[in-house]
Amino acid sequence: MMVRRAFSRSVTALAAILLVVVLFSMGTRAQDRNPPARQFPDIQLPSPARGAAALSALAPYLPQLAASYGKSVDELRDLFLRDNTLWTGTHGRLFYGCEF
């Protein structure tokens, strides 16, 4: 009976350790699959802008800005020219705003 309890405790402890190792390894693998954060350019604009004005203001930063949003320069340019609700803030962050 005593041997049976000791064996049962050993199996339980081994199962717990195995579970912790498996869960830990799954968590670290999930982190490895996430792509590294994109570097956002340091942008200082005098005021928020949209459309062609935003493109002019962002011209020196357009390649880095497009890359930080996962877009090509042409895709970002087309978005600004097509979508009148797409704005850039004073730090280059894009946002959608509606006028009433």
| In the predicted structure, residue 29 carries a pLDDT above the cut 60 | no
Interhelix angle 73-82/51-58, rounded to 10 degrees, is 150
Q: How many CA atoms lie within 13 A of 62 on its CB side?
A: 18
pTM, entire model:
0.61
Question: 33-90, pLDDT tens digit by residue?
Answer: 656 667 888 999 999 999 999 999 999 999 999 999 999 999 999 999 999 999 999 9
Query: What span, in angstroms and rounded, lies between the C-alpha atoms of 16 and 8?
Result: 12
Phi, psi of 95, rounded to the nearest 5 degrees? -155, 160
Phi, psi of 81, rounded to the nearest 5 degrees? -80, -30
Question: 75-92, pLDDT tens digit by residue?
Answer: 999 999 999 999 999 999
* 3-16 burial code (b ≥16 CB/10 A, e <16): eeeeeeeeeeeeee
Q: pLDDT category, 14, cuts 50, 70, 90?
A: confident
